[in-house]
């Protein structure tokens, strides 16, 4: 009976898109995420 391996599900990257990004694209993603957390999130939390 052949052994079967189950694929692991990653909640933070369910489509495994991070593996497909170049280093430059990861830098852009990280910069956008930092901007959203530093500048936008406080304004959203204050509004609600």
Give the Cα separation of 34 and 25 in Å (integer): 14
Q: pLDDT (tens digit, 0 to 9) for every residue of the chain, 48 residues total?
A: 567 888 889 999 999 999 999 999 999 999 999 999 999 999 999 998
pTM of the complete model: 0.67
Write down the pLDDT at residue 2: 65
* DSSP assigned state of 34: H
Give the Cα separation of 44 and 29 in Å (integer): 20
CB 26 within 8 A of CB 18: yes
Q: Where are the alpha helices (DSSP H) in the chain?
A: 23-35, 41-47
Write down the pLDDT at residue 4: 82
């Amino acid at each position: 009976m052949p052994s079967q391996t189950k694929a692991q599900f990653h909640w933070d990257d369910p489509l495994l898109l991070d593996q497909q990004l170049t280093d430059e694209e990861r830098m852009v993603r990280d910069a956008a995420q930092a901007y959203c957390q530093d500048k936008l999130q406080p304004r959203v939390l204050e509004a609600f």
